[in-house]
Amino acid sequence: ENVYTDDQDSLRSYIVKVFTKMGIAMAITAAVAFVCFMNLYDGGFLYKALVQMPFLMWIAMFAQIGVCIAFTAGLQKMQKNTVTILFYAYAALTGISFSFLPFAYGVDTVFEAFAFAAVMFISCAVIGHNTKVDLSKFSGLMFGALISLVLASIVGMIFNFSGFALMISYVGVILFLVLTAWDMQKIKAYYYQLDDYNDMRSKMAIYSAFQLYLDFINIFLYVLRILGSRNRD
């Protein structure tokens, strides 16, 4: 019984570590977004740079994709500190792109979307941690749904069907809530599978934080689009 209790305490500490790293990444995103938003609002150097060189946003976007690919592909070979730096670099780049959201949707709508997303994310994370249902059985279905969502989003942007974007947003929220629950289950799986590989277990804690971070960011963006659509009506 003592061994079981110690193991459960160790697992809880591991999960706390994951959420701490995710929280730091969220704080970096929020801080960078706020600083960049204020700079844009005041017509500072970022605003002037984008006016003169609008391609900088494309560079930031491709840098974000590059960091994500490097982070995922090189996880096993990279040092733990390198993995951490890449994660936080991605969070900072996300903050730059998020600085434009208040201009598009309004500050109140952004905060409202964040609050809704946080409540739903936490609820699904708790469900994923406590449920006895093995969500990995539905991994193929979820992956297929994710690919379909991406393709549908591209089609929606090209043809701009009335109401199509709103439907995609609702589907996106549901899908990433399910992925949040699944990613919570994977944290426990990583913990037990890597019992004898402490360095890899530490890197997987960072990777798990990255997965949960992406889940939350996507939930937030889809909720923001739903609320933004409602406010425009």
pTM of this structure: 0.87
Say how far residue 48 (Cα) sits from the centre of its chain: 29
Confidence band, pLDDT 50/70/90 cuts, at residue 1: very low
E strand map for the chain: none
**pLDDT value of position 39:** 85
Do residues 204 and 35 make contact, with C-beta atoms less than 8 angstroms apart? no
Residue with tokens 């997965």: 211
43-57 per-position pLDDT tens digit:
776 767 766 666 667
pLDDT tens track for 163-178: 778 888 888 899 999 9
Distance separating the N- and C-terminal Cα atoms of the chain: 59
DSSP the chain: -HHHHHHHHHHHHHHHHHHHHHHHHHHHHHHHHHHHHHHHHTT-HHHHHHHH-TTHHHHHHHHHHHHHHHHHHTTTTS-HHHHHHHHHHHHHHHHHHHTTHHHHH-HHHHHHHHHHHHHHHHHHHHHHHH--S-GGGGHHHHHHHHHHHHHHHHHHHHH--TTHHHHHHHHHHHHHHHHHHHHHHHHHHHHHHTTT-HHHHHHHHHHHHHHHHHHHHHHHHHHHHHHHHHHH-
Predicted pLDDT at 47: 65
Write out the two tokens for 229. Answer: 């659509």
Say what percent of the chain tops pLDDT 70. 87
